[in-house]
Amino acid sequence: MCRLNSIENFTALQERLIAESHPDTPTIVIPAGTCGQASGALNLVLTAQHEILSRGLQNRIRLRVTGCHGFCEMEPSVLVEPKGTFYPKVDPAGMRRIIDALLRNDVVQDLLMADGSSGRNYENLGDLPFFRYQNRLLLSQNEKIDPLEITDYVKLGGYAAFVRLLEHNAPGEIIDELKQSGLRGRGGAGFSTGMKWDFLAREKNGKGKYLVCNADEGDPGAYMDRSILEGNPHSIIEGMLIGALATGADKGILYVRTEYPLAIKHLGTALTQARKFGLLGTNILNTGISFDISLIKGAGAFVCGEETALMRSIEGRMGEPRQRPPFPVQKGISSLPTLINNVETWANIPVIFRIGAREYASTGTGDTGTKIFSLVGKIKHTGLVEVPMGTPVRELIYTIGGGPSGKVGIKAVQTGGPSGGCIPAELFDIPISYEGLSRVGSIMGSGGMIVMDENTCMIDVARYFMKFLMDESCGACYVCRKGTQRMFELLDDIAAGKGSLEHLDLLEELSLTLKDASMCGLGQTAPNPVLSTLRYFRNEYLEHIEHKRCPAGVCKELISFSINELCTGCMACVKACPEGAITGEKKQRHSIDQDLCTRCGACRSVCRFDAVDVQ
């Protein structure tokens, strides 16, 4: 097998690739991550391939199929380089027109994204408000890289940081620089990554050490890790290689959740390519240093995102957490010292060493660097946004996200997944930082940011998270297993109008016990969604309890549907009603039989005239 066998060879390859890259060649870039594929990006790819091949355009137009760029809502989208023209929601016919225009060095005006207020078209990706206010330190790489081609990553300067550090081989300096960068774990608690590496480097063990990339991105509503894994798998590998160099680890593990099949494929390909290049495996670039990474697929268990459960899962056992100490760094996988970082943390490593710790640390206020959030829910522009630490929540939601998606206002934003909390709209001026978020009762977490508007019921949200945690608790520790079940029952009662004020007391008491007495982070943080909604939206709880009313019109037992005078008699709701509860003639106002109605909301979702009211 042929592989690169020296540092000079790697440098020569990189130089040659950069020299041959011709960045000015017109290139069609199609994001085809999982979200892109879900919205039909592969049809565009096929159309583009067909056009290019059948018309013999290979030398005039390049095609790059990449991972997610972040503006998932506008997918399938097309980006045309080198100008950076951005076309949202393209169909195959549009794709052909884009190619035709590109050959004329032109832009298809009517396919561009229009600014709602001025009517002007945004031509360039960088002009869009969604992108303009971001600092896409990590995500911008996704546009440049075909994740199936290691050469694309190398061409962008990839692996150069690792190779440079490999040449100097001074582990202490690497850790010092990392500490200087101020990088904190992007997976939740925000522990200093440099300190963590230092702990592992200090562990002496003749039998080896493990580095783990925790890609068990389980927080519902957060998917930035998926987009990195799919779009830029080599950045994780390079990050882990640098980690290995600094800590003396010799074994790496990528633990990816099974719900991400595309990420698994891309990582598998990336690992094979890195090995073939001689950048991974035994005797890397003939320097005598060895480090290899195995890919392990999770099997569907949220709790395996917890470090100790993750290690058990890697050992092929049930994912039950255990109490620390001993910490993973003392006794981890197969009793060997183990360091676990999440995907976004690893992806930051090559960037830090490429641009230097000082430069990196100059981004962000309060904390350093950027953080990727998945901005989803009831917001106009959904997608992945990367902003410097310290950016106010308001900027993310209104400037980048464009405000509410519907007619009603935004009420709160939920961060940190099931371990996090809800931030009410009046606190949107707080900066995004680990401490900033925890002061208001939430956490940074992995970066889910779910926007909720006036039509979202906070009791329903709390109940949703509690149901989630009840199902996902490993069940080993009694407090978590029973506590989440009991909290869910209490919330369920309240949502059903069977709650009393004692329910609230009991919820608060239980919350304290779960926080204190649970074995692992899942149980300890489980009460957060309840506590934060109780703190900021107690009124909504009281409405449910005292007036048996759901102000948002969500809790089925407390609402009723009726048809108002806007009804045109189009029969859509009559057809949609699964219970046959709606009667009416064509062109006459329909009515709902309350006895038959199950409050499923099907009528409301099909009505085009706002004629279905909820009380």
Partner 1 sequence: MVTITINGLEVSVEEGMTILEAARFFGFPIPTLCHHEGLSPYGACRLCVVEIGEEPRTKVVSSCTYPAENGLKVRTASERVLRARRMIIELLLASCPQSKIIQDLASAHGVSHQRFRQEYEDCIMCGLCVRMCSEQMVAKAIGFRGRGTNRSIGTPFDVQSDVCRLCGACMYICPACQLRCTFNEPEKAVCNACANFQPPCIEQDRFHDMMCYMDPCVACELAKTP
Partner 2 sequence: MNPEHIEKIVQRHRGEQGALFAILEDIQNHCHYLPEDALRKVSQLTGESLVDIFGVATFYKAFSLKPRGNHHVSVCLGTACHVRSAPGLVDEFTQQLGITPGETTGDGEFTLETVNCLGACALGPIVLVDGRYFSNVKRPDVKKIISRAGAGFRESTAERAGSSFPLEVVCPHCRSALLDTQNLIEDHPAISLMASSKGTSGWVRLSSLFGSRCHESEHAFADDTQLSYSCPTCGRILTTATPCIECGFPVGSLAFSGGGSLHICSLWGCRSHRISLNGLGSPGVAHEEIVTRV
Question: 335: which 2 tokens?
Answer: 């009793």
**Cβ proximity to partner 1, 223 vs 434, nearer residue:** 434
The binder of 509, among partner 2, partner 1, none, by C-beta within 5 to 8 A per type, is partner 1
Supply φ then ψ for residue 183, to 5 degrees: -65, 130
Tokens of 498: 């069977």
Which does residue 259 bind out of partner 1, partner 2, none, counting CB within 5 to 8 angstroms by kind?
partner 2
**Minimum CB separation from partner 1 for residue 510, in Å?**
7
Report if residue 299 touches partner 2, rule: CB under 8 A. Answer: yes
Regarding 339 and contact with partner 2 (CB under 8 A), the answer is no
Binding window for partner 2 (CB under 8 A); candidates: 133-141, 144-152, 156-164, 559-567: 144-152
Q: How many CB atoms lie within 10 A of CB 56?
A: 8
- Nearest-approach distance from CB 524 to partner 2, in angstroms: 20
Q: Using CB under 8 A, which of the segments 344-352, 378-386, 494-502, 541-549 binds partner 2? A: 378-386
Q: Smallest distance, Å, CB 522 to partner 2?
A: 13
Sole residue written with tokens 């130089």: 15
Binding to partner 2 (CB under 8 A) within 192-221 occurs at: 217-221
- Mark the segment that binds partner 2 (CB under 8 A) among 201-209, 254-262, 478-486, 512-520: 254-262
Query: Exposure pattern of 119-142 as b/e (b: 16+ CB <10 Å)?
Result: eeebbebebbebbeebbbbbbebb
Question: Any contact of residue 39 with partner 2 (CB under 8 A)?
Answer: yes
Q: Minimum distance between the CB of residue 142 and partner 1, rounded to whole angstroms?
A: 35
**Which residues in the 430-469 window bind partner 2 by CB under 8 A?**
448, 450, 452, 456, 461, 464-465, 468
Cis preceding linkage at 337, omega within 30: no
Please provide residue 464's backbone torsions phi and psi, each rounded to the nearest 5 degrees: -60, -50
> From the list partner 2, partner 1, none, which binds 317 (C-beta under 5 to 8 Å, kind-based)?
partner 2
Q: Between 130 and 360, whose beta carbon lies closer to partner 2?
A: 130
> Residue 436, class by beta-carbon neighbours within 10 Å (0-12 exposed, 13-18 middle, 19+ buried)?
buried
- Determine whether 501 is exposed, middle or buried from the number of CB atoms within 10 Å of its CB (0-12, 13-18, 19+): exposed
Residues between 158 and 197 with contacts to partner 2, criterion CB under 8 A: none
**Amino acid identity, position 519:** M
Q: How far apart are CA 571 and CA 471, in angstroms?
A: 40
Q: Which does 486 bind (CB under 5 to 8 A by kind): partner 2, partner 1, none?
A: partner 1
- Whether residue 238 contacts residue 161, with contact meaning beta carbons closer than 8 Å, is answered with yes
CA distance 89 to 193: 39
Is residue 384 close enough to count as binding partner 2 by CB under 8 A?
yes
> Which residue's structure tokens are 């459960």?
309
Q: Of partner 2, partner 1, none, which one does residue 306 interact with (CB within 5 to 8 Å by kind)?
A: none
- In whole angstroms, give the CA distance from residue 130 to residue 412: 20
The nearer residue to partner 2, 560 or 605, going by C-beta atoms, is 605
From 133-141, 423-431, 534-542, 594-602, give the range in contact with partner 2 by CB under 8 A: 594-602
298 binds partner 2 (CB under 8 A): yes
Pattern of binders to partner 2 over 596-615, x per CB under 8 A? Answer: ----xxx--xx---------
Q: Which is nearer to partner 2, 127 or 146 (CB)?
A: 146
Nearer to partner 1, 313 or 415 (CB): 313
Identified binder of partner 2 from the candidate list 30, 32, 52, 137, rule CB under 8 A: 52
For residues 308 and 320, what is the distance between their CA atoms, to the nearest angstrom? 7
Stretch in the footprint of partner 2 (CB under 8 A) among 196-204, 265-273, 283-291, 429-437: 265-273
Site for partner 2 in 518-537 (CB under 8 A): none
Q: Select the binding partner of residue 377 from partner 2, partner 1, none (C-beta < 5 to 8 A, by kind).
A: partner 2
Residues 455 and 409 sit within 8 Å (Cβ to Cβ): no
3-state secondary structure 2-50: CCCCCHHHHHHHHHHHHHCCCCCCCEEEEECCHHHHHCCHHHHHHHHHH
- 77 to 136, contacts with partner 2 by CB under 8 A? 92
Alpha-carbon Rg for the chain, nearest whole angstrom, is: 26
The three-class DSSP label of residue 79 is: strand
Q: Nearest Cα to 239, choosing from 153, 336, 320?
A: 153
Alpha helices in 248-370 (DSSP H): 261-277, 307-314, 343-355, 357-361
Q: Choose the one of partner 1, partner 2, none that binds residue 583, judging by a C-beta under 5 to 8 angstroms depending on kind.
A: none
Residue 222 or residue 246: which is nearer to partner 2 going by CB? 222
Least separation in angstroms between residue 138's CB and partner 2 is 17
Residue whose entry in the numeric block shows the structure tokens 């290690």: 311
- Residue holding tokens 């290691």? 150
Q: Binding partner of residue 516 among partner 1, partner 2, none, CB under 5 to 8 Å per kind?
A: partner 1
- Residue 219 interacts, among partner 2, partner 1, none and using kind-specific CB cut-offs from 5 to 8 Å, with partner 2
- Give the C-alpha separation, 498 to 563, whole Å: 27
Q: Which of 110, 96, 103 is nearest to 46 (CA)?
A: 96
Cβ atoms of 113 and 128 within 8 Å: the answer is yes
Closest listed residue to residue 389, CA positions, set 439, 356, 326, 432: 432
Which residues in this chain contact partner 1 in the complex, by CB under 8 A? Answer: 301, 303, 318, 322-323, 325-326, 470-479, 481-486, 489, 502, 506, 509-510, 512-513, 516-519
Least spacing, CB of residue 414 vs partner 2, in Å: 7
Is residue 417 a contact point for partner 2 (CB under 8 A)?
A: yes
What b-and-e string marks burial along 162-189, b requiring 16 or more CB atoms within 10 Å of the CB? Answer: bbebbeeeebeebbebbbbbbbbbbbbe
Q: Closest CB to partner 1 among 133 and 327?
A: 327
Question: Residue count at the site for partner 2 (CB under 8 A)?
Answer: 106
- Residue 570, contacted partner among partner 2, partner 1, none, CB below 5-8 A by kind: none
The CB-of-567 to partner 2 minimum distance in angstroms stands at 18
